[in-house]
Chain A
Amino acid sequence: MSGSIYGPVTDWTSDFDHADPHYNRHAHEIWSELRGSCPVAHSGRYGGTWLPVTHEHVREIAYDTENFTSRAVVVSTVIPEDPAPIGGAPPITSDPPFHHEARKILLPPFAPRKIEAWEEEVRILCRDLLDVMANDVAAGRTIDAAVQYAQNIPVNVIARMLGFPLGDQDLFRGFVHDVLEGINLDPQERQANSERLDAYIMSQIDDHIENPRDDLTSYLLNVEIMGEKLALEHVSGTIVLLLLAGIDTTWSAIGSSLWHLATHPDDLRRLGEEPALMSTAIEELLRFYAPVTMARLVAQDHDFHGCPMKTDEWVLLPFPAANLDPHAFPRADEVVLDRAENRHAAFGLGIHRCLGSNLARLELRVAIEEFIARFPRFELARGRDGVEWSLGQIRGPRVLPITVLEAV
């Protein structure tokens, strides 16, 4: 795996880099160390980046939309030119007051009852994927729970919701990879990737304009904000958001949860024997392995608890680090499957709460239920070193070789 353009990290308090391959693999240790020594770290990389790691600080920044803008939410060497308050992928890149309007139109299709209706389809999809993997298992082959399973579930579901061709799933994964993990590509290359993605989405939009149908893309083309239909750039920006945010994140949550069960046989056995634990277990896995770190840009020079933050510096918002803060959670560093009180921030805090949280939860729960029903006992095939973790703000295993010890 390639390293950061800035070279290896020399010191995690003063030179950290979330794109260093060491970061996601050892994130928990890094955050824990910082929490004890330097709870708001600063690095000169990417034009200046701050990293708060306590629940209190992450929460404060998430709520402070005056001092921190969402105009750009993925740290890179170049700050996108899309102006506030809309940004390039509304509403995640929008600030108040526009944010409220852009979000409001998206809430109904992702509200709980609308999402519950997808459960059967998600279950069938998981079973189909498991059928193929079961053949590999029967033939004595190692399976890859990230590549053959986790990554396929959200891609398939979001493609159906948007009404995009299911055959284009590899293409979507390529886009996601380019945007979220291509942090260190040179600006021209990033720009070319982004244009490729925009062109693809515009072709899908054109197709929906010609042939309207009952899906999210047609919905976006017809919905109105204050009596007016959305500009095509708004529609395409929102689709970029749904495509990108819906895929990598859930894929990571499913993969990390399976990684946990593969490395903690007692938890795997307990979850199999006590299915009633599933609801608290899912929340606990979300807390402990929260995949998403958002970012903000400093909106104006200001002092944050003694830290001199400068306009247009990046601030990483590691919700997973907040979730592991011992001041916010007793036994924070343990996975407690029946944790009853769990105010985790896996889906963010404040006005940008993950729009797809109901869908992500559904996909995660069904994916785990089906996986352990088919494969009640499994372990890592090549140990922890055989697992490859993602690079950048979305944390999860990208290669997860599994040996199935018992198949049903």
Chain B
Amino acid sequence: MSARIESCPHCARGYCALMRIHVDADKCQGHNRCYALAPELFDVDDYGNAVVVGDGSVAPELEEKARLAVANCPEFAITISE
């Protein structure tokens, strides 16, 4: 059951149903595919390893990009929770 929040900045449904992305830092080897595909969602640290932007929530219009990032990660380091 999704937690009820006062005002979700992305949807007007009264509860937050945003997709979330997660990078497993142990699996990420810095291929940099996610950052190249979806810089709105992923950044890289000084070592070139991926980190999620903000809290990892994905605006609806970026969901397709998030799925592409998952499907292009050679190390299977990115997961999505919805």
Q: Which residues of A contact B (CB under 8 A)?
A: 104, 107-108, 110-113, 279, 283, 340-345, 347, 349-351, 353, 357-358
Contact = CB atoms under 8 A, between A and B. Distances in A.
Contacts of B36: 279
B75 interface: yes
A283 B74 CA distance: 12
A343 B72 contact: yes
A351 B77 CA distance: 13
A353 B47 contact: no
Contact of A108 (B31, B46, B75): B46
Given A349-B74, A351-B29, A357-B32, A111 B48 contact: yes
B73 interface: yes
B11 interface: no
Given A104-B47, A107-B30, A110-B48, A349 B75 contact: yes
Contacts of A107: 30, 46-49
A108 B74 contact: no
Classify chain B: how many residues form its interface, as a range: 10 to 19
Given A104-B47, A107-B47, A107-B48, A112 B32 contact: yes
Where chain B touches its partner, the secondary structure class is: loop
A113 B30 CA distance: 13
A110 B48 CA distance: 8
A329 B56 CA distance: 28
A347 B29 CA distance: 10
Contacts of B53: none
10 tightest CB-CB pairs across the interface, nearest first?
A111-B48, A353-B29, A341-B71, A107-B47, A343-B74, A112-B44, A108-B46, A107-B48, A112-B32, A345-B74
B74 A358 contact: no
Contacts of B73: 343
20 contacts: A110-B48, A111-B46, A111-B47, A111-B48, A112-B35, A112-B44, A113-B44, A279-B36, A283-B33, A340-B71, A341-B68, A341-B71, A341-B72, A343-B73, A343-B74, A349-B29, A349-B75, A353-B31, A357-B32, A358-B32
A344 B74 contact: yes
Interface in B1-35: 29-33, 35
Most chain A C-beta atoms within 10 Å of own C-beta, residue among B33, B44, B49: B33
A344 B72 CA distance: 8
Given A340-B68, A341-B71, A342-B72, A347 B31 contact: yes
A322 B68 CA distance: 21
Contacts of B49: 107
Given A110-B48, A283-B33, A343-B71, 8 more contacts: A111-B45, A111-B47, A112-B32, A112-B35, A283-B72, A341-B71, A350-B29, A353-B75
Nearest to A352: B29
Nearest to A115: B48
A111 B68 CA distance: 22
A78 B46 CA distance: 38
B44 A111 contact: yes
A19 B48 CA distance: 35
Nearest to B30: A353
A407 to B, nearest CB: 31
A281 to B, nearest CB: 13
B42 to A, nearest CB: 11
